[in-house]
């Protein structure tokens, strides 16, 4: 049921949002050189690596680090707004369609975030697909505290269900967790 919901909702969101995506892609390309879509290897279900797509919010050439380790000066002016309202996550709807991600689940981390990957493995979090949004995100918990994040992710895994997922999607669309961006200032 979760997978069917993911496919249906992602396809619907993409159908509705493609004109907005196109405008944003053009704006990104006009603002700074480099591709508009950012691709980065992340850790998925079972610890399998996959390519995660986002709208590029930082200047090309920025180091491949977790967000909480990136300097604010690396973020473009448009990127700051895209990140604040989580619009940069829209291309991940494609990741959901191909089965690498779910709409709701633990946010996928970088393979270099070893402490978080191991904590998630130990707590059974890697048993589910990562999500575009999740319990940690709507509660403002980012990846700078791997132990706490893994515990909240494990709580989600233990209690997940369609009704809970719908509540998290609605909370995300209503702006809960919006503005939580822990770049280095």
pLDDT at 61 over 90: no
Burial 132-151 (b: 16+ CB within 10 A, else e): bbbbbbbeebbbebbeebbb
d(CA 67, CA 91): 18
Note the pLDDT of residue 92. 97
What confidence category does residue 167 fall into, taking pLDDT thresholds of 50, 70 and 90?
very high
pLDDT more than 90, % of the chain: 70
Whether 181 has a pLDDT exceeding 60, the answer reads: no
- pLDDT of 45 higher than 70: yes
Q: Which of 124, 133, 165 is nearest to 3 (CA)?
A: 165
Query: Whole-structure pTM over 0.85, yes or no?
Result: yes
């Amino acid at each position: 049921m979760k997978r069917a919901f993911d496919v249906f909702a992602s396809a619907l969101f993409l159908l509705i949002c493609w004109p907005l995506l196109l405008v944003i892609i053009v704006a990104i390309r006009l603002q700074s050189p480099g591709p508009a879509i950012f691709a980065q290897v992340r850790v998925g279900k079972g610890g399998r690596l996959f390519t995660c797509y986002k709208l590029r919010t930082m200047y090309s050439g920025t180091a491949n680090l977790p967000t909480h380790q990136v300097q604010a000066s690396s973020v473009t002016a448009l990127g700051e707004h895209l990140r604040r309202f989580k619009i940069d996550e829209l291309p991940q709807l494609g990741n959901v369609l191909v089965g690498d991600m779910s709409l709701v689940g633990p946010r996928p981390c970088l393979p270099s975030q070893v402490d978080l990957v191991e904590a998630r493995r130990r707590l059974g979090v890697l048993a589910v697909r990562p999500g575009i949004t999740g319990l940690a995100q709507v509660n403002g918990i980012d990846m700078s505290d791997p132990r706490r994040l893994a515990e909240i992710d494990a709580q989600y895994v233990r209690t997940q269900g369609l009704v809970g997922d719908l509540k998290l999607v609605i909370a995300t669309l209503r702006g809960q967790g919006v503005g939580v961006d822990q770049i280095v200032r």
